[in-house]
Chain A
Amino acid sequence: DTEVTQTPKHLVMGMTNKKSLKCEQHMGHRAMYWYKQKAKKPPELMFVYSYEKLSINESVPSRFSPECPNSSLLNLHLHALQPEDSALYLCASSQARTRGYEQYFGPGTRLTVT
């Protein structure tokens, strides 16, 4: 089973709202990722959690705040976003140090900031 789930599927929020994106995997993977993808571009890495610790933060603005409550869950808290933050937000997971870090993506959350 290579399933990563994400909620919600779609999210529309105003620039003053606070919302959260959720991701879950039950594959025993110990690395989890947040990516942002704009139309006709490849996924752009935002954060990496390895063994529940933030290991990579790709200079993402502080209006995006990741959280890893346990090895199966990953959240992305959103606050005071800008219209240019509208994108597909993808969660992925992988075995931390085996199988070449094969990453499996969830279905994504389509975010629109108005």
Chain B
Amino acid sequence: QKEVEQNSGPLSVPEGAIASLNCTYSDRVSQSFFWYRQYSGKSPELIMSIYSNGDKEDGRFTAQLNKASQYVSLLIRDSQPSDSATYLCAVNDNAGNMLTFGGGTRLMVKP
């Protein structure tokens, strides 16, 4: 049984701070890793994909992958109240079309 674990939160950070979201996964053959942002009542939006060990930066977002330790993280710099949402981690083993989602972490950025 493939598992993806996230702290459900809420993670509360002040405006302008760095928010750090973490995700661990159980299946060592996982190859592709994704972060989705989901606002309340809306659908998930893909914000980051990462496939290789190390860091990947896109604007205020940085995804970090460590396959040896089986974790992936998302850093949000200069957090804004508009970043308040649930962040879903998802992994794929590239053997098929199935994503395994974590339970999501609720982020609250306070002005």
- Chain A residues in the interface with B (C-beta under 8 A): 2, 31, 33, 41-43, 45, 48, 50, 55-56, 88, 90, 94, 96, 99-108
Contacts and interface: CB of A to CB of B under 8 A. Distances in A.
Contact of A90 (B43, B90, B94, B97): B43
A100 B43 contact: no
Contacts of A100: 31-32, 34, 49, 51, 92, 94
Interface size class of B (residues with CB under 8 A): 20 to 34
Contacts of A43: 44, 88, 101
B34 A102 contact: yes
Interface of B: 31-32, 34, 36, 42-46, 49, 51, 88, 90, 92, 94, 96-99, 101-104
Contact of A45 (B32, B51, B98): B98
A94 B44 CA distance: 14
Nearest to A108: B43
Contact of B42 (A50, A94, A104, A107): A107
B10 to A, nearest CB: 12
A2 B51 CA distance: 20
Nearest to B49: A102
A17 B64 CA distance: 47
14 contacts: A42-B88, A42-B102, A56-B96, A99-B49, A100-B32, A100-B94, A101-B94, A101-B97, A103-B90, A103-B99, A105-B36, A105-B44, A106-B43, A108-B42
